[in-house]
A and B are shown apart, each in its own frame.
Chain A
Amino acid sequence: MTHIFKIIAQRIALGFLTLFVISLLITFGVELLPGDLAEAILGQGATPETVKVFRTELGLDKPAHLRYLSWLGGMVTGDMGVSLANRREISELIGLRLSNTIFLGGFAASIAVPLALFLGILAALYRNTLYDRLVNTFTLTSISFPEFFVAYILILFFAIKLGWFPGISNVSTDLSLGDKLYRTLLPAATLTLVVVAHMMRMTRAAIINLLASPYIEMARLKGIRPMRIIMRHALPNALAPIVNVIALNLAYLVVGVVIVEVVFVYPGLGQLMVDSVSKRDIPVVQACSMIFASVYILLNLSADIISIVTNPRLLHPR
């Protein structure tokens, strides 16, 4: 078992290194964009004089590497700093947005993952039947459309024509959980349609791949029911690739939903990051990208650990 802890420790150390490199890339990437926050905020009203005063006020007159170092110093001690644009604590700014994003991602995942596994297993069981074809066609169609299109179609039918759901997801903090779920069902459904195909097809493929193995043939010869073969014998061995795809899609549900946020006017982290990039609010961009990167690293790490733990050959290497 010590073996696995060693791997985790190594991965976490590597993760921090990745975060560091990402922070460098982001800072200097944003630095390369034309204009800075003072010009972006003042817009048409930017005259050399007002821009100069604003820059001094923000500390933007200092060179980029010094600003980066002071940011890094703060980050190491857990202080994300303040937004350049409105002087608010970034942790406070991000708190609500992050919880909104995680809520929506979690809601979508709790529909999408079980649904994808269920459909995938059934598709493997009844492979090459009409059901298999239908499921494949439907999920591939929904993944092929751009997200905003899927979202607009759902809005058209469920919000405008039928009036069952609100056309925008206006969630404020004082809503009850039920209300929140009701108001975010359409965006969650959109995300579900977008991610289900990937996971479903990987489940189906991984299982079918194993069904050709001799031990499955043995099981079949012993007369075990097909469903039991898949659930007891094939699925545990197929878990590693499935878990990897699920982890990738979960990460997508957290970091890649900005378009769905815009269409449904849902106040999530993606919107915050896009706003901050367009206004060159570097500390906020940094904080958001650190969160997104951490989500990716953590989810990949858990996927790796799960595939190691479920595979005795990897868990007890010779």
Chain B
Amino acid sequence: MDRKIDHIKEELKSGKITRREFAQRLMVLGIAGASAGTLLTWADQAQAAPKRGGRLRAGIAHGSTTDSLDPATYENGFMGKINYAIHNHLGEVDHTGAMAPELAESWEPQNGAKTWVFNLRKGVEFHNGKTLDADDVIASFQHHMGETKSPAKSLLKQVSSIKKDGKYKVVFELSGGNADFPFVASDYHIAIKQAWDGGKISPNDGIGTGPYVLKDMEMGVRFFGTRNPNYFKPDRGWFNELEMLSIVDPTARSNALTTGEVDVIDRVDLKTAHLLARKSGIKVEETTGTKHYTFPMRTDTAPFDDNNVRLALKHAVNREEIVEKVLFGHGVVGNDHPIAPSNPFHAATLPQRKYDPDKARFYAKKAGGIKVKLSAADAAFPGAVDAAVLYKEHAAAAGIEIEVVREPSDGYWSNVWMKKPWGACYWGGRPTEDWMFSTAYMGGASWNDTFWQNDRFDKLLIEARAETNQNKRREMYYEMQEIVRDKGGVVVPMFANYVFGTSDKIAHGTMAGNWDLDGEKFHERWWYS
């Protein structure tokens, strides 16, 4: 029986029979009910197998004339998507949130995760025909180390040396053990580029090993590329051509999708997402990733240096209502720590903090009354000002007085964030706990926007980093999430979904949630059905 089923499956796959004939034959074989349903679902998927061809046109919410191709300056979604179109990295985050090999075929930790050996894939070609080897990888890393403007610099501080071992092996020596180093080494900034004479990469050459070859680029306007004929992944990069337009205005972006000028848009305007989804020929999809919106308090500044004040404010916000009204339901509530449900060691057993005006009042009383200012601008995250105003209303019910200060969006990151005692902020999030905590919660970290320092937390962080026993690591990360939740300086009301619109001609597999649009790799992973 099974062999017969396999046979007709094969026939369907190769296109010898249609779905209708497939169903008829199942009936002939006497298969009905649930098992037939499963087989038919399988049939639909098999027929939707990826196809090559077409020009993918995308409208992207970012992009500015001041963008540059230098990987050290990538800071917005337009350059992020170009990055993944023309470059590859050592590894990539797959749809399960795990690190999968990309330009490195495999890697192994040695010496308590202090030494990492990366085995490079052989025979990978850059767009100009040069074959990738260890020198290219080393030069690409060095672009972000030493005297550099690259934000990846602080990540790579732990690397004490990079050496090659033969043409296809790169050995990293770290100053301390780090079990998550493959994630760090695959940071989006560290695009693998060609080493030119002199052992340096040419950061603006636009040449990589990626699925699309850059043909035409007008910063802040348009990217145009054609499929890399020698792409090393046989099952990726389905479109013949890729065109991305920078469409910053949300209404213009929706218009472009509804009038068929583009096939994909990111950052659907949440207020009108339900209307867009109603339009025929258009799908609105979302993924939950690590992106979260926060209200960081400076724990080195009064009154936020008092944990009672912090606890009072953490109990004084109705997270569900903010998710409902600011995200229009496109997100999940946060639990006052930055670890997302999609992170591997997310503490799902940690009780969810609830809106509790009585508890808030209790802590506020202990702190001797609370009257604070909350700085917000929509530069922090879309809807930040609305969220702050809602927060103010929730807190008022507990007798806590919050004055919302509307700050200018222009210059928000240099003048308000980490400067004002309490403000709004967003984090794209990080694929691993260690990365997220080391970036913004370790005492003295350069983006520690709460200026928070906890000895137990810092100790656990270092220990967990080098720990290779997964169960022990899980326990440590659970405890750390609890410490941040109860003692930290951050209110995390919500994790925001990535919401995007596509034409119904676009098909895709299970999507990754680490970034917008399938981990910013929609152009490589999707296809025309």
Contacts and interface: CB of A to CB of B under 8 A. Distances in A.
B65 A276 contact: yes
B218 to A, nearest CB: 7
Interface string B113-132: 00000000000000000000
Contact of A284 (B65, B151, B415): B65
A262 interface: yes
B66 A83 contact: yes
Interface stretch (B178-186, B390-398, B406-414): B406-414
Nearest to B449: A44
B75 A49 contact: no
B411 A167 contact: no
Given A47-B447, A265-B256, A42 B249 contact: no
Interface stretch (B19-27, B219-227, B316-324): B219-227
B220 A167 contact: no
A165 to B, nearest CB: 9
A43 interface: yes
A44 B417 contact: yes
A166 B259 CA distance: 7
A144 to B, nearest CB: 21
B68 A39 contact: no
Interface string B226-267: 000000000000000000011111011001101101000000
A165 B261 CA distance: 10
A168 B246 CA distance: 11
A96 interface: yes
B75 A43 contact: yes
Contact of A40 (B147, B222, B255, B414): B414
Contact of A39 (B64, B153, B245, B413): B413
A79 B187 CA distance: 39
A152 B249 CA distance: 12
Interface residue range, chain B: 35 or more
B73 interface: yes
B96 interface: no
Contacts of A275: 64-66, 220
Contact of B220 (A152, A155, A172, A271): A271
A42 B151 contact: yes
Contact of B249 (A47, A57, A265): A265
Interface string A39-53: 111111111111101
Given A159-B255, A263-B252, A272-B220, A86 B67 contact: yes
Most chain A beta-carbon neighbours within 10 Å: one of B69, B258, B414, B417: B414
A281 B245 CA distance: 22
Contact of B149 (A40, A53, A271): A53
Interface stretch (A3-11, A30-38, A101-109, A236-244): A30-38
Contact of A279 (B64, B249, B447): B64
A59 interface: no
B256 A167 contact: yes
A50 B148 contact: yes
A54 B149 contact: yes
Contact of A281 (B66, B70, B249): B66
Interface string B44-66: 00000000000000010000111
A70 to B, nearest CB: 20
Interface in B415-462: 415, 417, 446-447
B468 interface: no
B259 A170 contact: no
B153 A49 contact: yes
Interface string A144-183: 0000000010010001100100111010100000000000
A49 B144 CA distance: 13
A262 B252 contact: yes
Contacts of A166: 259, 261
Contacts of A262: 248-249, 252
B204 interface: yes
Contacts of B158: none
Contacts of A172: 216, 222, 224
B66 A41 contact: yes
B154 interface: yes
A120 interface: no
A197 to B, nearest CB: 25
B106 interface: no
Contacts of B410: 33-34, 278
A264 interface: yes
B149 A263 contact: no
B307 interface: no
A265 B247 contact: yes
Nearest to A166: B261
Given A172-B222, A265-B252, A275-B64, A50 B151 contact: yes
A284 B221 CA distance: 16
A163 B252 CA distance: 15
A232 interface: no
A168 B414 CA distance: 34
A82 to B, nearest CB: 12
Contact of A47 (B154, B218, B224, B248): B154
A167 to B, nearest CB: 4
B221 to A, nearest CB: 4
Contact of A160 (B147, B154, B216, B255): B255
A93 interface: yes
Contacts of B204: 86-87
B149 A35 contact: no
B65 to A, nearest CB: 4
B142 interface: no
B247 A168 contact: yes
B414 A160 contact: no
Nearest to B154: A47
B247 A86 contact: no
A39 B410 CA distance: 11
A96 B414 contact: no
Interface of A: 33-35, 37-51, 53-54, 57, 83, 85-88, 93, 96, 152, 155, 159-160, 163, 166-168, 170, 172, 262-265, 267, 271-272, 275-276, 278-279, 281, 284
23 contacts: A34-B410, A42-B75, A42-B151, A50-B153, A53-B149, A57-B149, A86-B204, A87-B204, A166-B259, A167-B259, A168-B245, A168-B255, A172-B222, A263-B249, A265-B249, A267-B218, A267-B220, A267-B221, A271-B65, A275-B220, A276-B65, A279-B64, A281-B66
Interface of B: 59, 64-70, 73, 75, 147-151, 153-154, 204, 216, 218-222, 224, 245-249, 251-252, 255-256, 258-259, 261, 410-411, 413-415, 417, 446-447
Given A86-B67, A159-B255, 18 more contacts: A35-B415, A39-B411, A41-B75, A44-B417, A46-B414, A47-B446, A85-B68, A166-B261, A167-B261, A168-B247, A168-B256, A170-B245, A170-B261, A172-B222, A265-B245, A265-B252, A275-B65, A278-B410
